[in-house]
């Protein structure tokens, strides 16, 4: 196709079928069987220019919701449900309130990290916002007590070995043991000169033994003069986070 008029007619037809609004650029090209080469051949440098020539207002991108607002809504929903929301819960909430962010918006935030999952991102955020400390505690308990079956049945949990990071993108990590991860995190946050983030905790029936295992494993990466601080690589962190019970 290289006819300007034909291209505009296709665009106007697509807009009419879309409640008078031009479809998204990729959607239009896919449905019309066209490419950007056809756009340029018709004399338009951009899709927006073609929409303007067709008498249509090009769609504008919806501003991305600030991180704090997005996670506040997620924390509020988790508190209401008493657990981390499923995809179905997101969809039901959005159906009742169209202003609630889409599932895709939350998945985009998940990809930004630095934590591996949206649940972990939410826990880290809640731990930094005291009004949602109850949500952090609820979600951390849920993670720590996920049934992990062994040949003898359900494991006995006497405490947790945690991995925390200093700073949002820092390379200094703390390994320690506690019977209450949320409380220990709060204590460290008050003492540390920079924010401390919980990356993962391992439920165990032998906190001292498991703590010793990980400290010995990372001995070569221990900061000089520090008993619980290590400079870890991404693979080290991934190895620790792969354990839920040990």
**Strand, coil or helix: what is 175?**
strand
Q: How many CB atoms lie within 10 A of CB 238?
A: 12
CA–CA dist 122, 141 (Å, integer): 14
Q: Average pLDDT over the chain, rounded to whole?
A: 83
Upstream peptide bond of 114 is cis (omega within 30 degrees of 0): yes
Quote the pLDDT of residue 147. 46
Question: What average pLDDT does range 175-202 have in this prediction?
Answer: 86
Quote the pLDDT of residue 177. 92
Reported as a single tens digit per residue, the pLDDT across 80-89 is 988 888 888 8
CA–CA dist 187, 181 (Å, integer): 10
Reported as a single tens digit per residue, the pLDDT across 29-48 is 888 888 888 888 888 888 88
Please give the share of the chain, as a percent, with pLDDT higher than 90: 17
Quote the pLDDT of residue 21. 83
Quote the pLDDT of residue 113. 76
Q: What angle do CA 127, 87, 196 make, to 5 degrees?
A: 15
Quote the pLDDT of residue 196. 86
Question: What average pLDDT does range 104-127 have in this prediction?
Answer: 84
Q: How many CB atoms lie within 10 A of CB 121?
A: 22
Most confident listed range (31-45, 47-61, 133-147): 31-45
Residue 2 pLDDT greater than 60, yes or no: no
The DSSP-derived string for 135-164 is HHHHHHHHHHTS---BTTBSPP--EEEEEE
Q: pTM of this prediction? A: 0.41
Quote the pLDDT of residue 221. 93
Residue 238 pLDDT greater than 60, yes or no: yes
CA atoms within a 13 Å half-sphere pointing along the CA-CB vector of 10? 21
Instruction: Please identify which residue in the block is written with the tokens 């007590």.
Output: 145
Q: Are 170 and 233 in contact (CB under 8 A)?
A: no
Residue 148 pLDDT greater than 50, yes or no: no
Least confident window among 3-12, 25-34, 230-239? 25-34
Quote the pLDDT of residue 56. 85
Q: Are 78 and 135 in contact (CB under 8 A)?
A: yes
Question: What average pLDDT does range 175-191 have in this prediction?
Answer: 87
CA distances from 191 to 176, 182, 188, 196 (A): 15, 15, 5, 10
């Amino acid at each position: 196709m290289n006819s300007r008029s034909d291209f505009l007619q296709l665009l106007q037809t697509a807009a009419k079928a879309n409640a008078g609004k031009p479809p998204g650029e990729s959607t239009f090209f896919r449905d019309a069987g066209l490419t950007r080469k056809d756009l340029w051949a018709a004399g338009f440098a951009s899709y927006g220019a073609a929409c303007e020539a067709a008498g249509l207002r090009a769609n504008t991108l919806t501003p991305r919701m600030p991180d704090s607002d997005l996670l506040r809504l997620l924390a509020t929903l988790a508190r209401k449900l008493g657990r981390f929301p499923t995809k179905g819960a997101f969809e039901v909430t959005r159906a009742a309130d169209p202003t609630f962010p889409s599932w895709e918006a939350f998945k985009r935030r998940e990809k930004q990290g630095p934590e591996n999952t949206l649940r972990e991102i939410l826990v880290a955020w809640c731990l930094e916002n005291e009004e949602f400390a109850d949500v952090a505690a609820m979600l951390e308990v849920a993670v720590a007590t996920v049934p992990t079956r062994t040949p003898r049945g359900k494991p006995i949990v006497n405490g947790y070995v945690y991995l925390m990071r200093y700073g949002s993108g820092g390379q200094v990590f703390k390994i320690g043991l506690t019977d209450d991860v949320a409380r220990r995190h709060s204590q460290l946050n008050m003492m540390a000169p920079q924010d401390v983030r919980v990356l993962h905790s391992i439920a165990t029936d032998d906190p001292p033994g498991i703590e010793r295992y990980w400290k010995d494993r990372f001995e070569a990466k221990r900061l000089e003069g520090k008993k619980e601080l290590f400079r870890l690589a991404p693979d080290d962190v991934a190895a620790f986070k792969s354990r839920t019970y040990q």
